[in-house]
Amino acid sequence: MAIRQVECDVCVEFEGRTKCLTVRGEDEEQAIQTGKDNACTFVTVGRAEAFRCSGTPPVRTQCRPL
């Protein structure tokens, strides 16, 4: 039994900084959350900013099945 996956392009913008990543997950929700969390690490400094960024919706997402 094969596990279906999706691949998503996720772009996060935080305080004027933008980062886009392509990530894979078992479903869209997981892939988008992973992309958002990972992108936030590139556009924030410190835990407080990372926490605020994680609460911000992505500015762009595009997913496709694999």
As a whole number of angstroms, the distance between CA 35 and CA 33 comes to 5
Domain ranges of the chain: 6-65
Residue ranges of the chain with per-residue pLDDT less than 50: none
5 and 52 in contact (C-beta within 8 Å)?
no
pLDDT of residue 1: 54
Check if the beta carbon of residue 9 is closer than 8 Å to that of residue 62: yes
> Between vectors from CA 51 to CA 46 and to CA 56, what angle results, nearest 5°?
125
